[in-house]
């Protein structure tokens, strides 16, 4: 009988697991939040991932449960484990991807390099942090942020008043995370695959370019990273994967500081936007690797199959019509570009697809990927 993987969440990450699952003969099932989502091709159930009974019913006939996002509540995860379901990554490591304050505290215990940080509950504590850090800092909501939502650069203690007020309303209480504003020269991401048996594979460290808090492009490998930088990034990734007992794909977002240190920004325990290039640029894509890792199968080779890969996100999409209507023109102009779409309706700023181009010359590949992606926006 085919190995069965259940993915909670019907977004594009679940969608992009479908093709490798078909190739490997894996029976992939998806619990989608609603009809018509990106992964609806494989959606065998539609329901609320915050409801334990819904998730338990979905998990009943799969070999392992994994995720498209980090938002499944701990009580639901605990119910799965109590019912004997294999959950990968497990509830314990997932806590550190769900809550940035827990993550900071745990990374500190592991001795990982990271920005100065503090947990704060009111404006006076924020003021104290600002005073100690040159008057500017980054305030973050510990839970539920994505694509830069829940991240705010502040230079006055009153600028987070609305978030402190929301904390006071929240019965669970809690705190905000404040971090030093890192003076970085660029952002990097390190991906590690790890299976329950402990086997690990490291992808090359990549450069991620963000615009308005959203990933716009990824260059793989990160230019000028060979040698020390790549080694340090890999060591950090492996230390976190082992230290937190992550299974499946782990992405570690990093800052490279102007004085060439690496600091950990945040973690994702699932396939990640920084690894979409692997679909066309690596021997084993992150989506195939995630399936292999959560099933405890031998991992695939993460090496690039060409010197350079570039991924350009399609953000928003055309303001009129559908992505599909732009296909023919993009394909005709850029036969070397691989266009991946998510079946999502265009909306300003929304990730609706991406373009991968691989090649021997970074500038040429980047030119082609950007040009092809531009056909899908206006």
Q: Which residues form the interface with Mg ion (CB under 5 A)? A: 253, 266
CB of 242 to Mg ion, least distance (A): 22
In the shown chain, the binding pattern of residues 66 to 105 toward ligand ATP, with x for contact by CB under 6 A and - for none, equals ----------------------------------------
The smaller minimum CB distance to Mg ion, of residues 234 and 265, is found at: 265
Q: How far apart are CA 356 and CA 126, in angstroms?
A: 42
CA angle 261, 265, 271 (to 5 degrees): 120
265-284 positions binding ligand ATP, by CB under 6 A: 265-266
The binder of 242, among ligand ATP, Mg ion, none, by C-beta within 5 to 8 A per type, is: none
Bridge partners of residue 263, in order along the sequence: 255
In the shown chain, the binding pattern of residues 193 to 222 toward ligand ATP, with x for contact by CB under 6 A and - for none, equals -----------------x--x---------
Stretch that binds ligand ATP, among 34-42, 64-72, 124-132, 141-149 (CB under 6 A): 141-149
The DSSP code sequence of 224-255 is T-TTHHHHHHHHHHHHHHHHTT--EEEEEEEE
| Cβ atoms 183, 257 nearer than 8 A | yes
The smaller minimum CB distance to ligand ATP, of residues 146 and 345, is found at: 146
The smaller minimum CB distance to ligand ATP, of residues 93 and 115, is found at: 115
Question: Should residue 256 be labelled a site residue for ligand ATP when binding is judged by CB under 6 A?
Answer: no
CA 194, 254, 338, 34 dihedral sign is positive
Evaluate the omega torsion of the peptide bond into residue 213 and state whether it is cis, within 30 degrees of 0: no
Q: Which of 322, 304, 302 is CA-nearest to residue 376?
A: 322
Length of the chain: 378
CB of 140 to ligand ATP, least distance (A): 6
The binder of 79, among Mg ion, ligand ATP, none, by C-beta within 5 to 8 A per type, is: none
Work out which of 17, 138, 241, 299 binds ligand ATP, going by CB under 6 A. 138
Q: How far apart are CA 10 and CA 37, in angstroms?
A: 6
**Residue written as tokens 């690990």?**
200
CB of 258 to ligand ATP, least distance (A): 12
Q: How many residues at the interface with ligand ATP, by CB under 6 A? A: 19
| Cβ atoms 254, 182 nearer than 8 A | no
Question: Should residue 113 be labelled a site residue for ligand ATP when binding is judged by CB under 6 A?
Answer: no
Stretch that binds ligand ATP, among 45-53, 62-70, 90-98, 137-145 (CB under 6 A): 137-145
The smaller minimum CB distance to Mg ion, of residues 180 and 253, is found at: 253
Question: Should residue 286 be labelled a site residue for ligand ATP when binding is judged by CB under 6 A?
Answer: no
Burial 214-227 (b: 16+ CB within 10 A, else e): bbbbbbbbbeebee
Backbone angles phi, psi at 132, to 5 degrees: -85, -10
Take residue 291 and report the two structure tokens written for it: 């399936």
Contacting positions for ligand ATP (CB under 6 A): 115, 138, 140, 145-151, 179, 181-182, 187, 210, 213, 253, 265-266
């Amino acid at each position: 009988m085919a190995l069965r993987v259940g993915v909670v969440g019907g977004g594009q990450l679940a969608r992009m697991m479908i093709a490798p699952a078909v190739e490997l003969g894996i029976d992939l099932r998806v619990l989608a939040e609603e009809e018509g989502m990106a992964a609806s091709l494989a959606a065998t159930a539609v329901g609320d991932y915050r409801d334990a009974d819904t998730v338990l019913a979905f998990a009943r006939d799969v070999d392992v449960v994994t995720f498209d996002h980090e938002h499944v509540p701990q009580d639901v995860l605990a119910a799965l484990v109590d019912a004997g379901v294999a959950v990968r990554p497990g509830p314990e490591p997932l806590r550190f991807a769900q809550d940035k304050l827990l993550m900071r505290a745990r990374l500190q215990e592991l001795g990982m390099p990271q920005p100065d940080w503090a947990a704060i509950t009111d404006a006076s504590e924020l003021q104290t942090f600002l005073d100690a850090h040159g008057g500017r800092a980054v305030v973050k909501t510990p839970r539920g942020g994505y694509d830069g939502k829940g991240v705010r650069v502040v230079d006055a203690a009153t600028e987070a008043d609305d978030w402190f007020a929301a904390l006071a309303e929240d019965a669970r209480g809690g705190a905000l995370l404040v971090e030093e504003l890192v003076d970085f020269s660029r952002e990097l991401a390190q991906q590690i695959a790890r299976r329950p048996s402990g086997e690990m594979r490291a992808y090359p460290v990549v450069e991620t370019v963000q615009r308005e808090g959203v990933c716009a492009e990824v260059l793989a490998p990160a230019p000028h990273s060979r040698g020390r930088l790549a080694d340090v990034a890999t060591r950090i990734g492996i230390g976190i994967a082992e230290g937190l007992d992550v299974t499946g794909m782990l992405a570690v977002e990093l800052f490279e500081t102007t004085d060439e240190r690496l600091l950990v920004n945040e973690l994702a325990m699932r396939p990640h936007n920084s690894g979409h290039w692997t679909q066309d640029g690596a021997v084993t894509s992150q989506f195939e690797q995630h399936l292999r890792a959560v099933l405890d199968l031998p991992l695939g080779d993460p090496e690039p199959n060409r010197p350079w890969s570039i991924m350009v996100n399609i953000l928003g999409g055309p303001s009129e019509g559908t992505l599909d209507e732009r296909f023919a023109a993009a394909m005709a102009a850029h036969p070397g570009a691989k266009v991946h779409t998510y079946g999502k309706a265009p909306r300003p700023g929304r990730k609706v697809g991406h373009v991968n181009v691989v090649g021997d010359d970074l500038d040429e590949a980047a030119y082609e990927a950007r040009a092809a992606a531009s056909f899908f926006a206006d």
